[in-house]
């Protein structure tokens, strides 16, 4: 059994993966799984090393091999278009490696709606065509609230793609429109056969993307990460 870790800017997620490729989500605490069954930990971190160290301590897996996955120029037939490949966020890289594993013969628009929203175009021959980074839904709302005197938000999310009638609705609807609008703009610029949607806000965005061939893939990053097991 292997432990896969996605250490993001908002939260860390864990998955247990068997040699046969079976995956089970796991809570990240030392008590939530059988530590003796873990052969190795494969992890990807866009967050700082402090978060990685804290997690290492928390999981009490010091005696196991920890393998950090980083962005590369090419891997498993997928090509990174950055001139400095290691600077591409490893979550974006893994989402592309996962997408390519899932749909190897299609061109894809990979959308990761996390703390930041990222969009990446991947051609049929698995060449990264570049992408976009924009603030995620929560981050957009927080930055408006923080940098203005009179805009406030509510704890509940009721965003809709329509004009708002009060401050909270204007803020939430506006930020939803910005993210949905970016995906729509990406599609207009370069349509692809499939849009693969992942990240913490993926489910929330899905109803607004009915005009596109969208597939929700919450585990895209883990599909990418699991390709490294024993490789």
Ligand X SMILES: Nc1ncnc2c1ncn2[C@@H]1O[C@H](COP(=O)(O)OP(=O)(O)O)[C@@H](O)[C@H]1O
Ligand Y SMILES: CC(C)(COP(=O)(O)O)[C@@H](O)C(=O)NCCC(=O)O
Active-site residue, selected from the candidate residues 34, 50, 91, 230 = 91
| Known active-site residue 201 | no
Burial class (CB in 10 A: 0-12, 13-18, 19+), 19: exposed
Q: Which listed residue (14, 98, 114, 224) binds K ion by CB under 5 A?
A: 114
Hey, what long-range contacts does 178-182 have (CB within 8 A, 24 or more apart)? 178/134, 178/140, 179/113, 179/117, 179/134, 179/136, 179/137, 179/140, 179/205, 180/205, 180/208, 180/209, 182/117, 182/119, 182/132, 182/134
Q: Which listed residue (37, 133, 161, 189) binds ligand Y by CB under 6 A?
A: 133
Only segment of 111-119, 140-148, 155-163, 174-182 that touches ligand Y (CB under 6 A): 111-119
CB of 137 to ligand X, least distance (A): 5
73 lies in the site for ligand Y, by CB under 6 A: no
5 lies in the site for ligand Y, by CB under 6 A: no
11 interface partner picked from ligand X, ligand Y, K ion, none, CB below 5 to 8 A per type = ligand X
Q: Which residues pair with 5 in a beta bridge?
A: 14, 43
Binding mask 181-200 vs ligand X (x if CB under 6 A, - otherwise)? ------------------xx
Distance CA 97, CA 82 (A): 15
- To the question of whether residue 13 is assigned a binding role by annotation, the answer is yes
| Annotated binding-site residue numbers for ATP | 6-13, 115
Residues labelled catalytic: 91
| Annotated binding-site residue numbers for substrate | 82, 89-92, 167
């Amino acid at each position: 059994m292997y432990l896969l870790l996605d250490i993001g800017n908002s939260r860390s997620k864990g998955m247990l993966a068997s040699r046969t490729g079976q995956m089970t989500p796991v809570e990240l605490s030392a008590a939530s799984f059988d530590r003796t069954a873990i052969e190795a930990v494969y992890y990807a971190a866009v967050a700082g090393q402090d978060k990685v160290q804290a997690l290492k301590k928390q999981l009490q897996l010091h005696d196991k091999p920890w393998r950090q996955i980083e962005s590369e120029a090419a891997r498993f037939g997928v090509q990174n278009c950055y001139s400095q490949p290691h600077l591409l966020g490893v979550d974006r890289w893994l989402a592309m490696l996962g997408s390519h594993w899932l749909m190897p013969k299609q061109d894809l628009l990979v959308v990761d709606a996390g703390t930041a929203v990222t969009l990446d175009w991947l051609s049929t021959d698995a060449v990264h065509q570049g992408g976009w980074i924009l603030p995620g839904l929560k981050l957009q709302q927080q930055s408006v609230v923080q940098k203005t005197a009179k805009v406030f938000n509510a704890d509940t999310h009721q965003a809709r793609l329509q004009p708002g009638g009060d401050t909270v609705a204007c803020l939430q609807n506006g930020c939803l429109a910005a993210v949905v609008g970016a995906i729509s703009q990406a599609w207009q610029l370069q349509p692809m056969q499939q849009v693969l949607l992942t990240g913490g806000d993926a489910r929330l965005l899905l109803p607004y993307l009915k005009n596109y061939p969208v597939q929700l893939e919450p585990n895209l990053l883990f599909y990418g990460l699991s390709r490294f097991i024993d490789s």
